Structure 1
Amino acid sequence: MDELKQMREGIAKEYGIALFRAYSEPEAAFFLQRDVSTLKRMRRAGKVPYTALGERQIRYLGIHIVDLILKGDKWRDISDVNSA
């Protein structure tokens, strides 16, 4: 898993993502190079990890964004440090 950690840190550094910071939906969409409406559809379909801070406050941890950049829809295959 050391290789995975290095890859995550490299991607985070390149994109300017703090791994354990919570990002808003527009910020996450920017990093993922997706439209906000596309990210919302993906979230509602259960295709992306997120944290709900109430009904209208959705946040994405930096590590989840990095995993999505790294693995795309196969982010669930990464078992190390993912939080639900």
Structure 2
Amino acid sequence: TNAEADGDLLDTVATPDEAGRKLLAQAAEAMRLSARGYHRVLRVARTIADLAGAEGVGRVHVAEALSYRRRAAVN
């Protein structure tokens, strides 16, 4: 499952498309994400893509995962 995937496996199965990678890189810098935080975003993005029936992780999935991250940081 996505919850049980380690960082290396996530990098393989949850790698976003080019637009998603750019967004995640920008967000990681702006939000000062640790490696753990980065992988959490990837894990959530992969789950969102799975629920949407998408084969790969796209920018829209990364953006939604990041929106939950920001909301959690505010609360």
TM-score tier after normalising by the smaller chain length: 0.3 to 0.5
Higher strand share: 1
TM-score by length of 1: 0.36
- Relative contact order higher in (CA < 8 Å, ≥ 6 apart): 2
TM-score (norm 2): 0.39
In our comparison, the structure showing a higher alpha carbon Rg is 1
